Amino acid sequence: MSRIRHTRHLGRFHLQIGGGTVTTSHRIQPGRRTLLKGAAAVTALQLAPPFIISARGESPLRIGMVDPLTGAYAAVAQNEVTGARLAVQQINAKGGILGRPIELLVEDSANDVGTGVQKARKLIERDQVTFLIGDVNSGIAQAISQVSNEKKVLHIVSGGHTDTITGSDCKWNVFRVCNTTTMEANAVAGLLFSKYGKKWHFITPDYAFGHTLQKAALADLQKLGGTMTGNELAPLGTTDFSAYLIKARAAKPDVLLVLSQGSDMVNCLKQIAQFGINKQIHVAGLQQELESVEAMPPEARVGAWMFEWYWKQPGVAGVDKFVADIRKVNGGKVPTARHWFGYTSVHTLAAIANREKSLDAKKLAEALGGFELPDDIRLQPYKSYYRKGDHQLMTTAFVGEVISTPKGDPEDLFRVDSLVPGDKTAPPENATGCTLKWPA
C-alpha cells in the first residue's frame, strides 16, 4: 500500500506517494484558503497509484502551470490540470524527464492578468520551474508569455486562443496547443452560412479572446457575402444576458452566434431557451466545450459548433485507453478537449526534452518546430504537429451539432458530422503576422 504524507511548507502543498511527490503551489491569502482543497486536490489523490519514480535520488524537475481555477473558467481550467497530472503520472512511471521525476506546481490566475503575471513570476523566480504551461484566459496567456520570454523559459499555452499569441505577438519560447480563433472560425463559418443564413448577430465576451474570435468570424461572413446585424459585448462573468438577447431578437438575424465560454456560455444559452429565442432564430457558435454542454439543461443544447477534440473517435489509435485513464481520475466522466490540452502540453515538454537530451530552452524550442505528436498523444485522425514558423499546433476540428437528449450513451452530447485537419483551418504561416526573434 502507498504511504501518503501531506504537509504544507512555504505556501506549497506536498503529497508524497510512495517514492514520488506531487506538489501544488498556492499563495495563501485571506479568504482564499479553500483553493485546491476541492477538485484539484482530489485529483492528486486519485492519481496516486501507481506513482512510480525510478530515479528516486534525483531532484525533481518542476513544471509550473497557471490557470484560472476559480471564476468563469474554473471547470475547464481544472480539467486541464487533471490532464496534466495524468501525463505527469505516466511520464514518471517511465523514468521522468532525463531520469528526473516531474513535479507539477499549479497556481490560480483567478481570471486576472495582474494575478496571472504575479503567479508566473513566482513559479519561475522562486520555485525555479524549468517549463511553464498556461493560461486558459487569452489575455493572461499573452501577459505571462511576456514573463516567460523575459526569463527564457519554454512555455506552452494550453488553452488561450487569441490569434496574436502565435501571430503578431509570437515569441521564440512560446508554443500553443489549442486552436487560434481564426482556425475555429474557419472550421465552421461556411457550414453556418450555408445551413442557417447570411445575417449574423454576435454575443461576444469583451476581452482578447472574444474580440479576435468575432473578428475572424466576421471576416469569414463577409467573404461569404453575408452581413452582421450587431455585436453585443458582454463582460467576462456576465450572469444576466437579457439586455443583449432583447437587442439581438429585435435585429432579426438569421443566426445568433454565442461566442462566450465557460459559465457565461451556460448562462447565455439557458436564457436563450427560457426566452424561446432558439425557436425564432437559429442559435449556434464557433468553439464549444463539453464542460459547458454538460452543465446545460437539455433544452439549451442547440446548434452547430466545433469541438477542438472529442472523446468518441471509433478506430483512432489510443483514444479508448485515454478515455479509460481519464475516467479513473475524473469521477468516471469522459475526457474533454481541456483534459487533452493539459495532457498534451506536459507530454510535449517531456518528449522533446528526452529526445534532445537537454533542458536548454532555446535548443528545445528549435527542436519543437515541426515536431509531430506520436499516436498515443495525438489521439485524433489527422497529423498533429507544431508549425516551425509560428509554433502553432495543427489539430483536427470536430464539426457538428450538440445533442439535447442522447438516445444512446448519455455522455455522447455531440454529433460529429465532419473532421477538418488543422492545415485546412489555419492561415498560412506567413499570413499570421508572426516573426520569431531568437536570442543570440
- List phi, psi (to 5°) of 376: -75, -5
Per DSSP, the three-state class of 350 is helix
36, 135, 166, 228 from 221: Cα distances, Å? 43, 29, 23, 8
What homologous superfamily is domain 4-179+318-395 in, according to CATH? Response regulator (3.40.50.2300)
* Residues 365 and 173 sit within 8 Å (Cβ to Cβ): yes
Q: Which CATH class name applies to 182-307+396-425? A: alpha beta
What interhelical angle do 138-150 and 208-224 show, nearest 10? 120
Greatest alpha-carbon pair distance for the chain in Å reads 68
Helix (H), strand (E) counts: the chain: 14, 15
- Alpha-carbon gap, residue 167 to 400, rounded angstroms: 28
pLDDT in 10s for each residue of the chain, 440 residues: 333 333 433 344 444 333 333 444 443 343 433 333 344 444 443 443 333 334 445 799 999 999 999 999 999 999 999 999 999 999 999 999 999 999 999 999 999 999 999 999 999 999 999 999 999 999 999 999 999 999 999 999 999 999 999 999 999 999 999 999 999 999 999 999 999 999 999 999 999 999 999 999 999 999 999 999 999 999 999 999 999 999 999 999 999 999 999 999 999 999 999 999 999 999 999 999 999 999 999 999 999 999 999 999 999 999 999 999 999 999 999 999 999 999 999 999 999 999 999 999 999 999 999 999 999 999 999 999 999 999 999 999 999 999 999 998 999 999 999 999 999 999 999 999 999 999 98
Contact 203, 258 (CB under 8 A): yes
Contacts of 317 (CB under 8 A, 6+ apart): 375, 376
pLDDT at site 408: 87
Domain 182-307+396-425 in the same topology as domain 4-179+318-395 = yes
Q: What 8-state DSSP symbol labels residue 299?
A: G
The residue ranges of every structural domain in the chain are 4-179+318-395, 182-307+396-425
